[in-house]
Copies of this chain bind each other. A is one copy, B any other.
């Protein structure tokens, strides 16, 4: 900042050319559309809109007693300076111009009259309203608590960023879900499991002494969406994250995040009492173990008074857990819940477990393990359930536990990072995936028992509710590894606040804030985003196929994957293709996984004529000749879908090419390069999959279909020992 402002006088003499050049210089050195600003770019709005907004923007009347009040006010200042080029007067009392009035009934006398409206909105909810106070037209940003005001400021800025009118403003917002949390799978050495955006954002080595300003921008971005929790470390946890040194580091992050309404949580390793506590056991019924966890919770809360709680992956993929001692998951979860309860903390116990012995159908395991524990968990335990019964596939049916445990608050676990969806180089907007799951009807209490109503607690009357997204955030300059992956962080946050929102509307907001308000940009980009998830399904796992990625790192196709330590880590286990047919028979004649769903749903999935074609091979093993809705036999349809996926990416490329000149060159080039990668990898997926399945069924390609570029052996030979994000 110093050189820019100190140079201003000089520029003035240089006239407007000098200013333009100074701006160019700014471009040349450090200003760049490099994605760092996310959807908070606050670039100038057009003159017409600006005129309307400026009338309100003469003053900001806001309290500044608390840290949250200050960051709310500063965010509004930052936004107005960028959007409108104005710096309103800051006041603690109303002047005579148009004003933004911020506050709670406690912090502002001008907000106090709205007390009744605010009651209805609850904690963290907010009200945006144009009003007249005395002779003055004002816009009120009001809430019951400071964080609600901060959320309201971000909403107000979003309205201006997207060109909405502020006339006759009347917005009432409340979060549908109480705990809106990011899960960072970040190791203490800075590696991010399933991370495609560089290393961990947390520089554990320099914490607590150095607080990277990036931590603040992370908090701002989350607060702009209403995300209010952050699990700092990997669910495959290291016990040392609970050691005093690392708790001090975590406490510093909590201090940075607190003004933004974000609580810190930690993944807890179940065997920590042994590894860092010196005990001989981690048995949840052992009094020493119980005492150790109580003392550990006391220690944590002494450092982090608003600590959120523990996330636990236990007895899953080699992690220790209560079953190591013959105890149940409920015993394990309740052990930690009892330690946290006196301080108000919660346990988020993951349902992603599967037995060491390979069962007949892994899709059934979580349900079988947990459904009987309904009612056995403490009141401060959330059961965190992945969106589908396998593992973050491009498409899965909703998890059968949703709706099946009415006495237990179920927390959604979405994956924002694209482990199975092309990493950061594939443009796949996950809004439609999230929306599809949230809108799915469990029929648990009859029609309209959507997954959203399960996780927001409304279906079964739970006050405690939660939703988690496995973060796609790292120290890459774009935060998310690509420009478009920012949209997935964004969409997760917006849907966590309100699971009933439309993925398309969210995309439209994001594009307007991130790229351009120009409808000639917004419309095609939103269309492209909305089609992108189905494109990925088509070129990777059409018609209900799943888990056919390469082994371990999941980079690229691997339908031939077989052998290895366990059958349910192979592809052939899942697609079950042979000369005659393909698909996993989960019907009542097969593994009967369908029976885990409510009867109305189960009947639909069980019936080969009623099951959605998009889930056909998930639930049914069908012959290659099976006639599809298109009239094509299954084999032809499958090949058609693969090819269609590739064509869809080409359409995305064409759309993007047409936007050259309407999107800044820097990001245009970046996205175009990634789309080229995606196009080539889509072709690779299509060709490898077709070659493989053709090697099983010996069928000719449908007319007009191009043969794979290489023989199957070529695709099978490809090795990627350094593919990013692999588990360690």
**B-contacting residues, A355-375, CB 8 Å:** none
Interface size class of A (residues with CB under 8 A): 35 or more
Q: A20-B8, A210-B677, A664-B2 are in contact. Are A30 and B25 (CB under 8 A)?
A: no
| Cβ contact within 8 Å between B199 and A25 | no
> In this assembly, does A109 line the interface, its C-beta being within 8 Å of a C-beta of chain B?
no
Q: A4-B27, A23-B5, A33-B1 are in contact. Are A188 and B10 (CB under 8 A)?
A: no
Shortest CB distance A173–B (Å): 25
> In this assembly, does A78 line the interface, its C-beta being within 8 Å of a C-beta of chain B?
yes
Which of A42-50, A131-139, A406-414 has 4 or more CB atoms under 8 Å from chain B?
Answer: A42-50
Considering the complex, give the chain B residue whose CB is closest to the CB of A3: B43
Complex CA gap A81/B14 in Å reads 12
Query: 0/1 per residue, A12-45, Cβ < 8 Å to B?
Result: 1110111111111111111111101100111110
Residues in B whose Cβ lies below 8 Å from that of A664:
1-3
| Cβ contact within 8 Å between A11 and B43 | no
Complex CA gap A418/B392 in Å reads 42
Query: 0/1 per residue, A188-225, Cβ < 8 Å to B?
Result: 11100000001100001110011101000000000000
Complex CA gap A664/B30 in Å reads 15
Query: 0/1 per residue, A442-483, Cβ < 8 Å to B?
Result: 000000000000000000000000000000000111000000
Contact of A16 among B12, B43, B78, B677 (CB under 8 A): B12
> In this assembly, does A425 line the interface, its C-beta being within 8 Å of a C-beta of chain B?
yes
Residues in B whose Cβ lies below 8 Å from that of A676:
209
Contact of A210 among B4, B476, B673, B721 (CB under 8 A): B673
Contact of A674 among B17, B47, B87, B210 (CB under 8 A): B210
> In this assembly, does A600 line the interface, its C-beta being within 8 Å of a C-beta of chain B?
no
Shortest CB distance A624–B (Å): 35
Shortest CB distance A86–B (Å): 6
| Cβ contact within 8 Å between A209 and B30 | no
> In this assembly, does A120 line the interface, its C-beta being within 8 Å of a C-beta of chain B?
no
Contact of A10 among B24, B40, B44, B189 (CB under 8 A): B44
> In this assembly, does A710 line the interface, its C-beta being within 8 Å of a C-beta of chain B?
no
> In this assembly, does A247 line the interface, its C-beta being within 8 Å of a C-beta of chain B?
no
> In this assembly, does A645 line the interface, its C-beta being within 8 Å of a C-beta of chain B?
no
Residues in B whose Cβ lies below 8 Å from that of A16:
12
Give me 12 other A-B pairs in contact (C-beta within 8 A), A19-B19, A204-B722 excluded: A1-B664, A4-B31, A7-B43, A7-B85, A8-B20, A18-B85, A21-B87, A25-B85, A29-B43, A206-B673, A210-B425, A475-B476
Considering the complex, give the chain B residue whose CB is closest to the CB of A668: B2
> In this assembly, does A665 line the interface, its C-beta being within 8 Å of a C-beta of chain B?
yes
Binding site for B on A (CB under 8 A): 1-14, 16-34, 36-37, 40-44, 46-47, 50, 78, 81-82, 85-87, 188-190, 198-199, 204-206, 209-211, 213, 240, 423, 425, 475-477, 663-666, 670, 673-674, 676-677, 680, 721-724
Considering the complex, give the chain B residue whose CB is closest to the CB of A28: B78
Complex CA gap A27/B5 in Å reads 10
Considering the complex, give the chain B residue whose CB is closest to the CB of A46: B10
Residues in B whose Cβ lies below 8 Å from that of A722:
188-190, 204-205, 240
Residues in B whose Cβ lies below 8 Å from that of A47:
9-10, 13
Complex CA gap A204/B25 in Å reads 31
Residues in B whose Cβ lies below 8 Å from that of A724:
189-190, 205
Considering the complex, give the chain B residue whose CB is closest to the CB of A474: B199
| Cβ contact within 8 Å between A213 and B666 | yes
Complex CA gap A290/B22 in Å reads 58
Complex CA gap A50/B7 in Å reads 11
Contact of A23 among B8, B10, B240, B477 (CB under 8 A): B8
Q: A2-B664, A188-B722, A664-B2 are in contact. Are A81 and B34 (CB under 8 A)?
A: no
| Cβ contact within 8 Å between B21 and A86 | yes
| Cβ contact within 8 Å between B42 and A31 | no
Considering the complex, give the chain B residue whose CB is closest to the CB of A87: B21
| Cβ contact within 8 Å between A29 and B18 | no
Residues in B whose Cβ lies below 8 Å from that of A680:
209
Complex CA gap A300/B7 in Å reads 49
Complex CA gap A78/B28 in Å reads 7
